[in-house]
Amino acid sequence: MKKKFLALALSLVMALSLAACGGSQEEAPAEEGGETPAVEEGGSDVITVGFAQVGHESDWRTASTKSAQDVFSAENGYELAFVDCDNDSAKQLEAVRNFIQQGVDYIIIDPIVSTGWDAVLTECEDAGIPVIVIDRTIDDSDKYVSWVGSDFKVEGLACGEWLKAYAADKGITEINALVIEGSTGASATIGRTEGFKEVADREGWTILDSQNGDFTEAGGQEVMESYCQSYEGQFNVVICQNDNEAYGAMTAMDAAGVSYGVDGDVIIVSFDSNKPAVQHVLEGNMNATFECNPMAAPFVDEVIQQLEAGETPEKEIYMEESWFAAEDIVSEITVNGEAMPVIHVTQEVLDARPY
């Protein structure tokens, strides 16, 4: 009997904590619902924006959210209704429908899935609310005003072009690269692989192997550990398709006794450029890192201002991104005929990084 009671008590505690977790998330839309009349009475001086964010799965995502909260602030004349969708696409659709009911002026969506959007975007159109898509893409509907995001292929190309210039300066004639890919099928994986491969094919580099590291540190570590055995002494470049994979790859190379970075035998680069990665570049553990800009909000702000002024913004807007290198050797690269600067990382550069 005593044990039954204990079991019951335990399950109650858990159930309560669950209810507590669920509650805080459910409350958010309800609060926004309450604000609706105020919005309509407020007239045209305050622009209300609804933002349906993917979730909070990484530092990158957190930076993206923060960027939106900073830009669409009361001081800038905005009112932001923010919904964290916890990677649940059904929840995201509901959030967008809630925005329509509240009668917000603009809706920003970072779509969790790329399909199944036509119905809800038609509803937005009928309600006369312009939709702006950021980061990920929507494939089955074009009923949105603009898409703002990164050109992953350009990131891959930039990586290749930088490597070409860097190798030329260092007198490295033969490049044998290993690639640690991101999650299979992710647009970032596809774009970065394509971009780098294009340069590699043109320059006649060898890509020894390309395996999936799932965008995680553990994945990068495991793949690199295997590479160190399969291609012992054969590779001189490691391309990690995000920062975390690079951290894992460095641990694996430490264990295998392979030297990397500025003074090492192996050139290692990563994509995304979170602050810890830039720190590694500053310390010379990594040779370069290529940014994937999470700060979409300023660009969205521009689109909204254009719409407010009655102009038609461009359908696809690519964000400016920066490339960071540990050594002051290559200062400029040309990607798709466009000159781009390569930033030499110093303490000031690191301190100025917002995420």
Partner 1 sequence: MSKLKKLTQQRLFLPVFCMLLVLCINMIYDAATGHAFYNFFEITMTNDLLNGRIINILNRGSEVAILAIGMTLVVSASAGTDISVGSVMSLCASFCCMLVAGFGVSSVGSAEEFAMPLAVGLIGALVMGCLCGAFNGGLVAYLNIQPMVATLILWSAARAIGLLLCNNLIVYIRVPEFAVFGGYLGPIPTPIIIAAVCVAVTAVVLKKTAMGMYIQSVGINKRASRIAGLNSKRIIFTCYLLCGLCAGIAGIVASSRITSADSNNIGLDMELDAILAVALGGNSLGGGRFNLAGSIIGAYTIQAITTTMYNMGVPSAVTPVFKAVVVILIVAVQAPPVKAWFKKRAAAKAVAQKEVVGV
Return residues touching partner 1 (CB under 8 A): 3-4, 6-8, 10-11, 14, 17-18, 21, 56-59, 62, 181, 184-185, 209-212, 214, 216-218, 221-223, 225-226, 229-230, 244, 247-248, 251, 255-257, 276
Name the strands in the sheet holding 47-53, side by side, starting at the edge strand that comes first in the sequence: 78-84, 47-53, 106-109, 131-134, 146-149, 316-318
Q: Which is nearer to partner 1, 57 or 328 (CB)?
A: 57
Shortest reach from residue 10's CB to partner 1, in Å? 5
Q: Which is nearer to partner 1, 42 or 276 (CB)?
A: 276
Q: Which is nearer to partner 1, 4 or 312 (CB)?
A: 4
Q: Which is nearer to partner 1, 279 or 306 (CB)?
A: 279
Q: Which is nearer to partner 1, 129 or 253 (CB)?
A: 253
Q: What is the C-alpha separation between 13 and 59, in angstroms, rounded?
A: 31
Angle at which helices 243-256 and 217-230 cross, to 10°? 40
Shortest reach from residue 190's CB to partner 1, in Å? 11
By the 8 A CB rule, do 183 and 215 touch?
yes
Shortest reach from residue 180's CB to partner 1, in Å? 10
Shortest reach from residue 338's CB to partner 1, in Å? 31
Shortest reach from residue 232's CB to partner 1, in Å? 8
Shortest reach from residue 129's CB to partner 1, in Å? 29
Residue (of 87, 51, 43, 41) closest to 71 by Cα position: 51
Amino acid letter at 156? G
Q: What is the C-alpha separation between 128 and 7, in angstroms, rounded?
A: 54
Torsion angle in degrees (nearest 10) through CA of 237, 243, 245, 249: 50
Q: What is the C-alpha separation between 135 and 299, in angstroms, rounded?
A: 12
Q: Which is nearer to partner 1, 19 or 309 (CB)?
A: 19
Local structure of 106: helix, strand or coil:
strand
By the 8 A CB rule, do 134 and 149 touch?
yes
Q: Which is nearer to partner 1, 184 or 312 (CB)?
A: 184
Shortest reach from residue 67's CB to partner 1, in Å? 16
Residue 61's contacts (CB-CB under 8 Å, 6 or more residues apart) are: 53, 54, 55, 294
Structure tokens at 195: 């971009």
Find tokens 């933002």 and name the residue: 51
Q: Which is nearer to partner 1, 7 or 172 (CB)?
A: 7
Q: What is the C-alpha separation between 77 and 245, in angstroms, rounded?
A: 40
Tell me the H-state helices in the chain: 2-42, 59-71, 89-102, 118-126, 152-170, 187-203, 217-230, 243-256, 275-283, 297-308, 347-352
Q: What is the C-alpha separation between 147 and 111, in angstroms, rounded?
A: 11
Q: Which is nearer to partner 1, 138 or 268 (CB)?
A: 268
Shortest reach from residue 34's CB to partner 1, in Å? 26
Shortest reach from residue 66's CB to partner 1, in Å? 12
